[in-house]
Structure 1
Amino acid sequence: MARAVLAEDSTTEISEMINVLIDLLFESLPRRDQRNWARVYLNGLVRTTGKRTIRNIAGSGASSVEQSLQQFISKSPWDWVPVRRSLAQLLERTAHRPLAWVLRPMVIEKAGDRSVGVGRQFVPQLGRTANCQQASGVWLASSEASFPVEWTLTLPGPWTGELLRRRAGIPDTARSLTPAQDAVHAVRRMAATWQLQRRPVVMEVAHGDLPQSIESFTRQDIPFVFKVDGSLPVSFSGAGRCAPGPHTAPARELIDSRRSRRRVVEWTRHGRAEGAVTQLASAPVLATPCEDRPVPVPSTPLLLVGAWSEAALLPSEFWITNIGDRPLAQLFLLAKLADRVSLDFTETCEPVGIRDFEGRSFRGWHHHATLASVAHAAKLLGARPRSPDGYAGPVRSAAAAARPPAYMR
């Protein structure tokens, strides 16, 4: 995979951006020495070569530096939530035309069994069982750049037992949920308490998680675009059929029946210069059936959208959304912001070490993920444009960035 190369003449701009972000985002840390160690860690994340472990970040300095960083990351009780909230609010004011919140899963394979949340579990993204941690990031995305601002760490059942919970310092409120359930809960918390503008949520949802995800977002009036599998059974009305509805059919079959109504969309793939052509069709659907628990039909109608790639005979991608009043092209481009996030994850977030935390504490994992998110933002906001498709935003002054936004109520 391609990795972003940090130009030498951009290190000054990124260091300056880190200093700005320390002032803006870490006000909740009461002590100056804590903010100083945050600065050391952030600079280490963007400058260290190889794995971003605490030992590598400390480098060849005195052992006291490594011990202080270890204390700051894994043991210090500072709250990461205010930092993430401040980062999200800042990016809403400085990122270029943010369009949606994109939820992206992250799998971290491990060799041992001591890392918090690790366990042998089936991972859909890998198509196999793996010994790993499963996490999810909530990203603020535009067509030019995307930024992670919130993270969840999924806890397999054993980690909510008394022994492992105590060993890892897992709070009593943390429960064992699926990665999708964790991500949905995170978005609902953000929508309720972070004072952010209401934007569509883009995510991939498995069959079993779909009814609850639809219900959760509908109750809180959160717009969504859920990527689903073509085998998903969907219910739809009986208009135009011999028998009155509702009927049930796989999403692929229903969309393919609408092929005569396809619309052509020309667009540019994220990270590429060449254009692409996609054909879209849609169909209104009811709440999706579920064997375990029925879900009441949402007050807002649902729309199933399907896409044919160039020269494809059958539709290959499918989404369910409650945003039925937008043109299909807009819905498709919203859905494709997931590709923008995947690109930025590979080129920026992985190089600053989002997967590299090796500690055993729940608090330490979240501290590291928070600082890696700030490092990601510092690189994109502080560096010069990487390509014509890259983010070209200037370094904002602290005063300009701190101006309060007009929040959507």
Structure 2
Amino acid sequence: MADSSKLSFLIVGSGGREHALANACVNSPLVSRTIVAPGNPGIASQCECVDIAADDIEGLAKLAADQEINFVVVGPEVPLTLGLVDKLQEKGILAYGPRADGARLEGSKNFTKEVLLKNKIPTGAAASFTESAAAIDYLQTASMPIVLKADGLAAGKGVIIAQDLEEATQTVKDMIDGAAFGEASKEVLIEECLFGEETSIHVIVSGEDYVILPTSQDHKQAYEGDVGPNTGGMGAYSPADLISDELMAEIERDIVIPSVKGIAAEGIDFRGTLFIGLMITKSGPKVLEFNTRFGDPETQVLLTRLKTDPVQIMLAAAKGELAELKVEVKDEYAMVVVLASDGYPGSYPKGEVIDFPAEVGENEIVFHAGTKFDSEKNVVTNGGRVLGVTALGPDLKNAAEKAYALCDKISFKSKYLRRDIGFKELKRQD
């Protein structure tokens, strides 16, 4: 018989982030049962999966009620912006993740920029447009390169860095007049291009209480040397020694605290993850974006480095008990390398059988992201980012060696990966 004091857990989503969350739940002494909807083959090897889409708000809320779920963790941004947490709370079900008003910080880049500017939080100058003619007039006076962002959610693809006026003008026309990203680009934010090194921090927020998780750095560009089109992330590592103790103190004082207080001042009772994308410029750290959920692939390295049970942290945030919690971190480095389908983030093949090694080493794990079962129950590719190969080590070089050695033991026909994840950090450490 299950321990009645333990939680029945539901995780919403199907990617590498959700596999990392499911793995944390399965290993938590606080959890008796974990269901993931819709999940993926890697998650299914550890816990129960139910085929309900992440954007099926009514279906997910019914599942949680029918299965007597105690606690729901919402992985992706879409169900958050659609109000899944609101719906769960109406049913008296505790959830980790912001309600729709808080998820708007990711669902609208313009809203985030307003919050940043209102609270004097360091960020790039920007202007918002719904008509292409006015936007093009603005571009005539702007410095190049320049960043153009679809206001709404665009599956991680709604940000274009235009190198010159011609490209910027065409991008504006494509976004506003051509609806390049559908409704998401009917309003466009034109933003100063910040230069420096990009990093991110994850802040667990519960009202005006917060805990800053370990630092990490993602690699967005598709190709080695940080070139090529932006992706959802080709790999990440933690900690990012780019952020010194002194710099973290500055980030906390000038960015984290005013962000948490500013969000609360909007009347938003935010309980979830505030992902703050940063550019470390010559004049200091500046905010690139807010997301309102764990990053992917950063989650794969962050959760593996936590000594404190991640379930305990999320539960405390949802209950408003975060101020009482001390979060401890392992004194190890972690790296995740994404195995992608060649062609991503453009068109790519699907349905290729994946060959896995019989065993993986200690402190190594393969998180599934874009996989599914075929009719013969083979695990096959089903996305641009297929797997997140993750390893822990006493230093970054060791973690990288282990992760890449495991990558080389996995095969599928169109396998593509960057072999330079963490290259700037490794150079700094040499």
Larger helix proportion, structure 1 or 2?
Answer: 1
Determine if the TM-score, normalized by the shorter chain, exceeds 0.5. no
**TM-score, normalization: structure 2?**
0.27
**TM-score, normalization: structure 1?**
0.28
Higher relative contact order (CA closer than 8 Å, sequence separation 6+): 1
